[in-house]
A and B are shown apart, each in its own frame.
Chain A
Amino acid sequence: MLSINNLTAKVEDKTIIKGLNLEVKPGEVHAIMGPNGAGKSTLGYVLSGREGYEVEGGSATLNNNDLLDMDIEERAREGLFLAFQYPVEIPGVSNMEFMKESVNAIREQRGEDALSAAEFLKIAKDACKQVQLPLDFLKRGVNEGFSGGEKKRNEIMQMILLKPTLCILDESDSGLDVDALQVVANGVNSQRDANRSFIVVTHYQRLLDYIKPDFVHILADGKIVKSGDASLALEVEKEGYAFLGKGYEEANA
């Protein structure tokens, strides 16, 4: 599915990702944890192709296609989905309109017919209910006036509608209360299947109580420094990042 080899990337002349390796197989859930400034969000942006995030070396392939050679929208159509930590507002463009265009752009790539407004409305309503947002959110402007929690749920709704093959969740748990966290986790869990993989970027172990990862990686200073199973997250929760050395512990205190 996703194969990252010795990836190095910089933002404004500062190298943030420093030789990162990661192999994600179909159906797997990988959690990425790490102290602030380790490069967790940067990884999501580099993989999705955001402007200003420049690859210096290494490779990344998705389903054996060279990810780094594609435009942002091509990567999305190839099945890469990024759930944003801080989703931006697009005033006046309804969620419904936005998602219909988006779903149809991706269907076109897969050689499927565009959905009619009625067909789309039906699946959109289901997705909306699934993340427990009132149906009028479909009519509202994209993220316009949404609370932090509503924005996160809206991201998960988009994920459900787009049916991506690789989902990167960038701190989808930040700023959520326990109930909202449960909704987000349920949304993610409902989408888990043998062909869909997840990279769950998080600061806290809490989310992983709800979304059980197959692997946990610790990202520090642009590299994966430790990998393990779900128990590694519990260990970090208890011990902090002390094993990384004194500097990290303080930075994260």
Chain B
Amino acid sequence: MTEQIDQALSKQYEAGFVSDIESETFESGLNEDIIRRISAMKEEPEWMLEWRLKAYQTFLEMDDPDWAHVNFPKIDFQKISYYSAPKSMKDKPKSLDEVDPELLRTYEKLGIPLYEQEMLAGVAVDAVFDSVSVVTTFREKLEEAGVIFCPISEAVHKYPDLIKKYIGSVVPRSDNYFAALNSAVFTDGSFVFIPKGVRCPMELSTYFRINEQNTGQFERTLIIAEEGSHVSYLEGCTAPQRDENQLHAAVVELVAMDNAKIKYSTVQNWYPGDEQGRGGIYNFVTKRGICHTNAHISWTQVETGSSITWKYPSCVLKGDNSVGEFYSVALTRGAQQADTGTKMIHLGKNTRSTIIAKGISAKNSNNAYRGLVQMGPKADNARNFTQCDSLLIGDKCGAHTFPYIESRNPSAIVEHEATTSKVSDEQLFLCQQRGLDPEKAVSMIVNGFCKEVFKELPMEFAVEAGKLLEISLEGSVG
């Protein structure tokens, strides 16, 4: 019987297992001493520690935000452990052969092979496990092209000038409550640097895994695309199935210099909690990119996990003629709550932005789109197009749209379209009358609804995203 239940559960959330790995985990609690210890674990230079401590001071002076359309008990930051790393990582393994096999098995189970010869050609992976990066593949091949792809903790040592210059330049420490917290306690994440004129020869990706109990994951990613360079970056995330909530507060900063292009794709599948809303990840993330002249940043996200999602990947269109895009699918079911969207800040002339947001709500969940389009006084002839579609499955879920438009330039044009529809009984009946079972029918209808976003994803991810929706929707009918 237990086996059957286990099977049923793991079918719903396939990444819900726990790896049996001996970890070095800090006792829970948040204070200056903890921050000093994180910094010491990473053997950081003094300036980095100071930066963290300033962030912590800022954090203490801030209040937690309450404007999002989500409900949850106040987070007790003293009950969270801010650092956990597999003990085996302490010896700094130099190759995969030295990495704890149990760690490698975790990624194998998740379908992320870390041996280069097994990889899909053309995708380099940085695998982050709790608070440390386990391995980063294809580094040599990337270095030949001048591309830097490494854990951010390593970049602090190796490329201090770049880190000093850019960290916090897009998302300042004081930007918001969770960004301040992240700046104080961030542990690992990826650092990417694409030199002038280089088209990154492969897709870069980071795979985040939370494993240890009662820990938070606070990763920080920084991507710098120099003049005229191109890069496509993907991230994926999963966590074990637990009754307690776990906090994930990340910061991602993108810098696209003149004529550069960054494409950032996310398939977020953190554990969503059970039907009653027990457990799951609190996903409070700040993602922002800055576009210089003629630069282009494109965010694509497929959000199916987390019990709470609070996330607004944004573009600051500083340079003239720069372009920002946001393509999003957010699916909520069970008791999940999502408040997600974007901000497009138009500062330069002729800047353009496109927002396509698709929200799908099933069961008792609540799904909100929140988006800001701001046209600055110098943003002559700037344009925005926003399309915001909600799809409801069943009659107990909710879809909400909160668009904010601020225009301070008379020549700017802002368009907003919004629709709400239901997977109708008629659509289901048509599909079934043509021989399809109801679950296949719903997944087909939902995939059709998401098509405009899925086509923006790199191929392998588009397939994964489609499958993920199918799994997530299981049992949503009736």
Which A residues fall within an 8 A CB radius of B? 48, 50-52, 71-73, 76-77, 81-82, 84, 87-88, 90-93, 97-99, 101-102, 105-106, 109, 141-142, 158, 162
Contact = CB atoms under 8 A, between A and B. Distances in A.
Interface of B: 424-427, 429-438, 440, 444-445, 447-452
Contacts of A50: 429
A52 B427 CA distance: 15
A101 B436 contact: yes
B193 to A, nearest CB: 38
A72 B427 CA distance: 13
Contacts of B424: 88
Which of the listed residues B431, B433, B437, B452 has the most CB atoms from chain A within 10 Å of its own CB?
Answer: B433
A92 B450 contact: yes
A117 to B, nearest CB: 15
A73 B432 contact: yes
Contacts of A162: 434-435
Contacts of A92: 447-452
Given A48-B433, A72-B429, A90-B448, 4 more contacts: A72-B433, A97-B444, A109-B435, A142-B430
Contact of B430 (A51, A77, A87): A87
Contacts of B445: 90, 93
A109 B216 CA distance: 50
A106 to B, nearest CB: 5
A105 B435 contact: yes
A98 B452 CA distance: 17
Nearest to B454: A92
B287 to A, nearest CB: 27
Contact of B427 (A73, A90, A105, A158): A90
Given A92-B448, A93-B445, A102 B429 contact: no
A77 B437 CA distance: 10
A18 to B, nearest CB: 24
B427 A88 contact: yes
A247 B392 CA distance: 44
A81 B432 CA distance: 11
A88 B434 contact: no
A90 B434 contact: no
A15 B101 CA distance: 68
B430 A84 contact: yes
Contact of A91 (B426, B432, B448): B448
Nearest to A78: B435
Contacts of A99: 434
B55 to A, nearest CB: 44
17 contacts: A50-B429, A71-B432, A72-B432, A73-B435, A73-B438, A77-B435, A87-B430, A90-B430, A92-B447, A92-B450, A98-B431, A98-B444, A101-B440, A105-B434, A106-B435, A141-B448, A142-B430
